[in-house]
Amino acid sequence: TAAAFGVKAIIMTERYSPQAHGVLGKSASGALEHVPIITVKNLRQSFDVMKEKNFTVVGLDSEGEKNLSQLKLKMPILLVLGAEGKGVRPSVRESCDYLARLDLPGAIKSLNVSNAAALALYVAHQISE
């Protein structure tokens, strides 16, 4: 999904993230050759570095203030997705420029992280300048 939308990199923490081989490598279907994975010790610190480079940090949260499609975003964007079930950690949420949600028409208002990523990347691609 990241490769299909032209994502430049995926940032994950050294701890609590899957390794980029095994099941993850198989499910990526060769996309690891197109989208590098960067591991960091601290997401908040990496956000500060990215903000210095004019990235807008958007956290995806089912209780976000605005629907992602309502934001006026300029590239580059750093899209933050949390763990399934727990979502984005509170300390990471505080570092985001925006907390946005995906308004879904059905009874369930939250998707698994893979589906949420695909939908959010599509929406962000459509609304960004």
Q: What three-state secondary structure class fits 112? A: coil
Q: What pLDDT, in 10s, does the model give residues 49-85?
A: 999 999 999 999 888 899 999 998 888 999 998 876 6
CA distance 49 to 18: 23
Per-residue pLDDT of the chain in tens (129 residues, 90 and over written 9): 888 898 999 898 876 555 555 555 445 555 567 788 888 998 889 999 999 999 999 999 888 899 999 998 888 999 998 876 677 888 888 999 999 999 989 998 888 888 999 999 999 888 875
DSSP lists the bridge partners of residue 57 as: 78
φ/ψ of residue 80, rounded to 5: -105, 120
| pLDDT of 77 | 92
